[in-house]
Structure 1
Amino acid sequence: MISRLSQLARHLSVGSRSGLLGPATAAISSSSSSSSGGRVLPRAMASADERNSRTIHTAACLIIGDEVLGGKTTDTNSAYMAKWCFSLGINLKRVEVVEDDEAEIIEAVQRMSDRYDFVVTSGGIGPTHDDITYQSIAKAFGLKLILHQEAYERMKKLTKPHHSHPNFSWDVESPAKTARLRMVQLPTDESRDLAKQALFPRDTLWVPICVVNGNVHILPGVPRLFESLLEGLKPFIIERLVDPEGKGIHRVIISTPMSESSVASYLTELAAKVEPKGVKVGSYPRWGKKNNSVTLVGRDIEYIESIAPEVIENVRGKRVNSEDEED
């Protein structure tokens, strides 16, 4: 209870910064900024179009669904996104899971949109009453839910008949049609180019990637769809990556028989030495296994490769392609 009260107090003390006062007054800390028109603007002043065009340094993932928090299903989408971001050189800074609760979704998506360049949400866009992602995100940014005509036409064309609705017709109003229409009523900013607000990466899927506030990308929670659409998103963002050639981030994994405590001092010195080069040193115990893991992660491949032999020698290790290679 004390922890919950302290969190509430903290949110109230930074009301406008966390977005609790609504999109018009939502702001981020002054340390984050972006360039526009030759001058530096606080991120909260950035327009949706500016957010939609800025270089992508950081990302966040919001998983939405009671079934994940209740243990009914296991979230695999955040892990897939983590690997996807790593391969593209995007720094995934945060992953959160929230329940199907409007207030929770609004708070999280406003905060993430303000703080990170690229945001992906997963889940809560189906036809049932508990699928409230679209309506919640629309409220978060003061938008209307509007039938997206292209998504609707694609839905009619690509949706296969289902045995539970043998007499279903798109030309006849029915509860089933109303439920389906929930999935193509998208948060829409009528002042902006509609083509930037709904992307269709796959010709075989009617499901759009709805883009809100320029940097929030709403994806379905079904892993097969999430993965396909996320992969299809690459061509839309490739030119905005730190490294448009897609070299991504480099990782060296070293398997060592030494305990963490025996290499801790060396790794502390190493981390301080390589940090100015943008390299992170990781140490991971592997309980019940004969070896532990040390990793070197960064963008400067040549530098990482130049120090790898020294690290291997100092931890009496061996370079491997995966942590379990030596098991």
Structure 2
Amino acid sequence: MALRLFGLVRHLPRPRLGPGHISVAFASATSAFRSDRLALGIMASAADQRNARTIHTAACLVIGDEVLGGKTNPRTSQTNSAYMAKWCFSLGINLRKVEVIEDDEDEIIEAVRRMSERYDFVVTSGGIGPTHDDITYQSIAKAFGLKLLLHDEAYERMKKLSKPHKSQPNFSWDVESPVKTARLRMVQLPIDESRDLAKQALFARDDLWVPISVVNGNVHILPGVPRLFETLLESLRPHIIGRLADPEGRGICRVIISTPMVESAIAGYLTELAAKVAPRGVKVGSYPQWGKKYNTVTLVGRDSEYLESLVPEVILNVQGRRVHREGEGETEAET
């Protein structure tokens, strides 16, 4: 049947295009080209807007099968997310989401699209090495319809600053090899060719070749190695300080009060307090300390003077005392 139809089609007369038809076809193609250009322009504009807007919220995406499988140093996920939480707190950024996912392209695409849309500042950790399972760059490129392109400056920095490993004594940058191909994976970045390249790759220090790839205006791709993650995250501070809700970067304040009372005994008071202070942007927290004599009550907010005004009342109602860190002066509960 298919062959008969094909034969029939072959014998159908082809339409002749006159000048009018050609003009219409050309106009249609031109219109489509302009539409594509316009769509790219809108995408670029949206990315530039994300790259410039005030930062209120943040999210951290930790990527790696080994993290979920427990085969890596637990510091990789725990330290990186904890470090980012403290970093955001110090700058007054609300860290709203920490998520751990596997090295799966579909998972990465879904998560990074969702986070980029919902949060002002997004950081990913892990999956940017030279091996087959390091798929963060390629997955994020697909997430936003971008090409993976060799970043020339990152490549030159890599050649200059990376030291040859003793297991690869004959390696040469001038000779094509599987090792060179693997290393190039780390400097092939998701690039939007319609945007300023300088906004899409940042370098922390002159002695580090590892770039911070910035995608869709607000997704910052960092390595999972804790020491590198922390160094590169800190290097972002001067880039975003002017975009914070408080440009002076004074951050969020926390008051910690230690109480000998059990949570159930102070729950009613804390509920009333939380409702009273919520309109002023203050959050009230209560945290039991297992195996200790004292529990912890916290007040968190941006208005330090208002927080200080609440301290005497809270101390009185929870029969507690103010401390500088959780667990300060506590001893193990008697058994």
Taking the aligned partners of 1:72 and 1:276, their CA distance within structure 2 comes to 45
Taking the aligned partners of 2:103 and 2:205, their CA distance within structure 1 comes to 27
Taking the aligned partners of 1:326 and 1:298, their CA distance within structure 2 comes to 25
Q: 2:290 aligns with which of 280, 284, 287?
A: 287
Matched, 1:112 2:97: no
Higher helix share: 2
Q: Which consecutive segments of 4 or more residues in structure 1 shift more than 3 A? A: none
**What is the CA distance between 1:46 and its match in structure 2?**
6.6
Taking the aligned partners of 2:253 and 2:112, their CA distance within structure 1 comes to 30
Matching residue of 2:132: 129
> What is the DSSP-based 3-state SS (H/G/I as helix, E as strand, rest coil) of the residue aligned with 2:183?
helix
Alignment size in residue pairs: 286
Task: Determine if contact 1:51/1:117 at 8 Å carries over to the other structure.
Answer: yes
- After superposition, the Cα gap between the structure-2 partners of 1:278 and 1:46, relative to the gap in structure 1 and judged at 3 Å, is farther
Taking the aligned partners of 1:46 and 1:259, their CA distance within structure 2 comes to 54
Q: 2:309 aligns with which of 296, 306, 323?
A: 306
Q: 2:146 aligns with which of 143, 146, 159?
A: 143
Taking the aligned partners of 1:309 and 1:163, their CA distance within structure 2 comes to 63
Taking the aligned partners of 2:257 and 2:234, their CA distance within structure 1 comes to 29
Task: Determine if contact 1:291/1:326 at 8 Å carries over to the other structure.
Answer: no
Matching residue of 1:3: none
Q: 2:225 aligns with which of 219, 222, 225?
A: 222
> What is the DSSP-based 3-state SS (H/G/I as helix, E as strand, rest coil) of the residue aligned with 1:266?
helix
Taking the aligned partners of 1:204 and 1:45, their CA distance within structure 2 comes to 31
Q: 1:167 aligns with which of 166, 170, 175?
A: 170
Matched, 1:258 2:261: yes
- After superposition, the Cα gap between the structure-2 partners of 1:261 and 1:46, relative to the gap in structure 1 and judged at 3 Å, is farther
Alignment of 1:2-17 (within 5 A): none
Mind listing any 5+ residue stretches in structure 2 that lack a counterpart?
Answer: 1-37, 331-335
Taking the aligned partners of 1:218 and 1:247, their CA distance within structure 2 comes to 25
TM-score, normalised by the number of residues in structure 2: 0.84
Amino acid at match of 2:293: K
Task: Determine if contact 2:257/2:323 at 8 Å carries over to the other structure.
Answer: yes
Amino acid at match of 1:251: R
Q: 2:196 aligns with which of 176, 193, 198?
A: 193
Taking the aligned partners of 1:115 and 1:171, their CA distance within structure 2 comes to 44
Matching residue of 1:17: none
Amino acid at match of 1:284: Y
Taking the aligned partners of 1:122 and 1:203, their CA distance within structure 2 comes to 22
Matching residue of 1:54: 53
**What is the CA distance between 1:202 and its match in structure 2?**
1.5
Matched, 1:77 2:80: yes
Task: Determine if contact 1:61/1:78 at 8 Å carries over to the other structure.
Answer: yes
- After superposition, the Cα gap between the structure-2 partners of 1:265 and 1:46, relative to the gap in structure 1 and judged at 3 Å, is farther
Mind listing any 5+ residue stretches in structure 1 that lack a counterpart?
Answer: 1-23, 26-43
> What is the DSSP-based 3-state SS (H/G/I as helix, E as strand, rest coil) of the residue aligned with 1:248?
coil
Amino acid at match of 1:280: K
> What is the DSSP-based 3-state SS (H/G/I as helix, E as strand, rest coil) of the residue aligned with 2:122?
strand
Amino acid at match of 2:211: P
Taking the aligned partners of 1:207 and 1:107, their CA distance within structure 2 comes to 25
1:49-73 CA distances to partner (integer Å, 9 max, x unpaired)? 0000000000000000011101123
Q: 2:215 aligns with which of 212, 235, 254?
A: 212
> What is the DSSP-based 3-state SS (H/G/I as helix, E as strand, rest coil) of the residue aligned with 2:327?
helix
Amino acid at match of 1:211: V
Task: Determine if contact 2:44/2:195 at 8 Å carries over to the other structure.
Answer: no
> What is the DSSP-based 3-state SS (H/G/I as helix, E as strand, rest coil) of the residue aligned with 1:246?
coil
Q: Over alpha carbons, which structure has the higher Rg? A: 2
Matching residue of 1:323: 326
Matching residue of 2:22: none
> What is the DSSP-based 3-state SS (H/G/I as helix, E as strand, rest coil) of the residue aligned with 2:159?
helix
Question: Aligned Cα RMSD in Å?
Answer: 1.4
> What is the DSSP-based 3-state SS (H/G/I as helix, E as strand, rest coil) of the residue aligned with 1:62?
strand
Identity %: 80
**What is the CA distance between 1:326 and its match in structure 2?**
2.2
